[in-house]
Structure 1
Amino acid sequence: MIEPRLNYVSCAGAAAGTGQDSHRMAYWEWNATGNPQHPHVVVCVHGLSRQGRDFDTLARTLAPHARVICPDVVGRGESDWLADPMQYEVQHYAGDMLAMLQQLQQQAPIESLDWVGTSMGGLIGMVVSSLPPGVLPVSVRRLVLNDVGPAIEWSALERIGEYLGAPLRFESIEQAAAQLWAMSTSFGPHTPEQWLALTRPMLRKTPEGPYRLHYDPAIAQPFGALTREAAEQGEALLWQLYDAIRAQTLVLRGAQSDLLSVATAQAMAGRGPKARCVEFAGVGHAPTLVAADQVEVVREFLLAPPQQGRA
């Protein structure tokens, strides 16, 4: 079984406790092509409280065909924590992704760039994909927005705010898996083995012994400061970004999602890049891209010949 290699990129913005003006963002690189400089790059970016190993199943499927890059967004996973918690926001994350893409381009020219973004990772993808020509090494060719769009239901943000940043401690990986599953049943059916595989990278040992979650609890500060009025104002900007996207776009939606409404998904199909929408039954927010049917939809979209990209 192939495994990823852990790499880092230096990005603007001070890291906590270092006294430096920069921070390191970690990214997991998958390559099973035999060509470490494969020109087709697929970037997979996780949700708000998650990390890059969420994409292990999808990455193993895509790695024989592309250079798959799964970053740990700053404040998560193996990445540094930020000195200023208010920098935990999408525009800052997008800047880190540009630094990563520039580093990848220096290592080997990127000829084809695709993006898979779950929830927050999809918002970052909308920012990156809407950038004018010349800012990226190459423009995003195909974009997968996993259970997210320009309009986000306020009730879902309230739900997420109830647990984000909570000082959870777990005596074992199994206890953590059970407790996290109780908070994440909207992800849809998973076998115990699948859920344990998703849980292990979410945990870090504390000096006292128990496990904690991998992320900086301070990511909750800017999230908690968001008001309904500010969210509504941000929605208008996100629609502008979405309308500027020229990449072929696929929207995935959990049929029971409380974050991406049916109406928003339908609107995304009718404007901007006019996304193709696929809905998964028995799943809420958000599909984990572990189930075989979910992986196959993404694989077919990303690896289809150019003339079949919207098929």
Structure 2
Amino acid sequence: MTSQPPPPPQPGAQAVPTCYRHPERETYVRCQRCARPICPDCMREAAVGHQCPECVQEGNREVRQARTTFGGAVVAAPRVTWALLALNVLAYAAEVVNQNEVLQRFAMYSLGVHMGEWWRLITGAFLHSPPPSFWHILFNMWALYVIGPELERRLGSARFAALYLLSALGGSVAIYLFGTVAVGASGAIYGLFAALFVVSRKLGYDARGVLWLIGINVVLTFVVPGISWQGHLGGLVIGALVAAGFVYAPRGNRVLIQVGVAAVVLVALVLLVTTLPPYGFPPVGIRT
């Protein structure tokens, strides 16, 4: 018994639409954006009706990513702040285990930097007064915990990391030029103080409280013995410069100017170290 072929379509009859990705599947649903027929496996829910996978991807590319006030990506959690806190605590734990070895190899030491030990410019900013003293790291980490998340959310994680590290480097370069030996995150913390003042002024907030905070700490820098005024003031100045470049950059060329400011500050600090010798006196002890 032979089967009969299906009758030819009647004049004027339309072919049954099939999915553009799966031609073997009949469908009467079309993408709301491009009008191509799509089967259930290709349907993606949209605000109205369904869209095909390609139109969904194209729409996602067109959606602008939310940005912070100063152009950074929106921060859901201040991960850079927590990472910096962890690094400082781990470095202090290393001091507890082997204080002499850690300080001799990684403390900020002007002559060591001059002899080519460049890492001291950064590693010294993650060390603190050696055990059993703990007030130094407690104060700095408390300040980072209080100020860090707010600045990271305002600036974005990348800009906040750049601000912190450049402020730390600025403090170390000042120690190199005008000091001898020092440890501590205070240069970076003073840079955050300066940035908080700049951000507050830019946003129109009352910045007198921040100004008082900076003033009191600067006075303590010169009153309390054993404190590296070079590291504190170096971080304060660099933090103010970087923050001003970040928050006052015009919207049209914001990213380019912000990157340029950070790059210029970094190059200037590197040139100071590579072209000038240290002017400090022979070390008489580690300052904080």
TM-score of the pair, normalised by structure 2:
0.29
Higher fraction of strand: 1
Greater CA radius of gyration, 1 or 2? 2
Higher fraction of helix: 2
TM-score of the pair, normalised by structure 1:
0.27
